[in-house]
Amino acid sequence: MTNIEILSLKEIPKSLVIVGAGAVGVEFASIFRSFGSEVTLIEMLPRLVPIEDEEVSKELARAYRKRGIAFHTGAKVDKVEKSKSGVTVTFSVDGKPQKIETNAS
C-alpha cells in the first residue's frame, strides 16, 4: 500500500514492513510504532534517511533501536506477496535472503 492508502486503514496493524527509509518511511515507522505496531524498515541504501546528514542518520538509527523499530539497510526487496494473514516480504542483505511476515495488507 502507498503512503496515501495507509492513512485509510480501519485498524492499527499488529505489524508492518515499510519499504524505503526516507523522510516519509521513517515518519510512518515512528507513527505506527507509537500506536503499538511492530515496525520493520527496509532501505536499499546504506543508512536511514540517506539524503540527510550522516550524523542525523546515525542518531535516528540509535533512537529507532531504542524504540524497538527494526531496520535493514543495504537491503534489496526481492518479492512482496499477499498471504492468508497479510503480506510476506522477501529481501536480501549482502546476498543473504531474509523473509518477514506481517499482518498489514
Grid cell at residue 40: 520493520
2 lies in some domain: no
* Residue 8 DSSP symbol: G
Which pLDDT score is estimated for 103?
A: 82
Q: Is residue 76 part of a domain?
A: yes
Residue type, 13: P
Domain that holds residue 36: 12-102
CA dihedral 54, 96, 75, 105 (to 10 degrees): -140
Non-local CB neighbours of 37 within 8 Å, separated by 6+ positions:
12, 13, 14, 15, 16, 104
pTM for the predicted model, two decimal places: 0.92
Domain count, the chain: 1
Q: What is the pLDDT of residues 62-104, one digit of tens each?
A: 999 999 999 999 999 999 999 888 899 999 999 999 999 998 6
Q: Higher-confidence residue: 69 or 105?
A: 69
What does the pLDDT look like over 15-64, one tens digit per residue?
999 999 999 999 999 999 999 999 999 999 999 999 999 999 999 999 99
Residue type, 64: Y
In a domain? residue 6: no
Domain at 76, CATH number: 3.50.50.60
Amino acid 105: pLDDT: 58
- The Cα 90–Cα 1 span in angstroms is 16
Q: Is residue 53 part of a domain?
A: yes
